[in-house]
Amino acid sequence: MRFAGKAALVTGASRGIGRAIALELARSGADVALVGRDTAALEETAALCAASRPGAVAEIFAGDVTDQSAMDRIVGLAVERFGRLDFAIANAGQSVDSLLLRLKAETIDHLLNVNLKSAFYLCSAVAKPMMKQRSGSIVLMTSIVGLMGNPGQAAYAASKAGLLGLCKSLAKELGSRNIRVNAVAPGLIETAMTEKLPDAAREFLVKQAALGRAGKPEDVSGVVAFLCSDAAGYVTGQTLVVDGGILM
């Protein structure tokens, strides 16, 4: 119950890593705002959060994270519902693979909108209530692909790499108000998105990992919870790699 009395907002909370993060925070005592477009899947996440502990509160706020006005509205409603907002996790993301010479402009725009611009919109919206209460923790979900690059994923890598600069810049902008901003860079995590990986690519990444296995969403959610906690009270502007040792 280390987060008792705290409120969190998680984008992309309908499945995978986002669902695991929401569940971890709810289990630890936080009220959780679940953001995404798939209402049915969000309801499943909400049910899991509610069952995680007696009195757990998980509210669904359906909306498009790439729409700045929608994010402003959702954050406003969440603050109105919970009275505060302590943690914000920009987890929404998508991957579309394409070699450069086949990469379409609309694919680039789509990935920048979902993976990068949505994080700008979330941070802009949550900064206001966090500055008012003079505290908060923002976590941006990037990827090891944003750190190392990958053939066929130039647009995805660029969008995720942009989050690294956003993290450091906002950490410097908001630090004087006691708002911390960090990033988490997962490696190969077993989610619906990584199910699309070719077997050869999956086998290569597993062999590269010092731990010799793919990660689980719960391997990531615990790290996010740490960054939200008082144990990370002097940690800001950092990127924590959660990849089982692929990038060593």
CB 27 within 8 A of CB 2: no
Q: Please say if 234 is a catalytic residue.
A: no
CB 46 within 8 A of CB 72: no
Q: What is the C-alpha radius of gyration for the chain, rounded to an integer number of angstroms?
A: 17
The CB-side HSE value for 67 (13 A sphere, CA atoms) comes to: 10
CB 211 within 8 A of CB 36: no
Name residues whose C-beta falls within 8 Å of residue 188's C-beta, 6 or more positions apart in sequence. Answer: 194, 197, 202, 205, 206, 209, 214, 215, 243, 244, 246
Catalytic position from the list 156, 167, 194, 214: 156
Q: So which residues are the catalytic ones?
A: 156
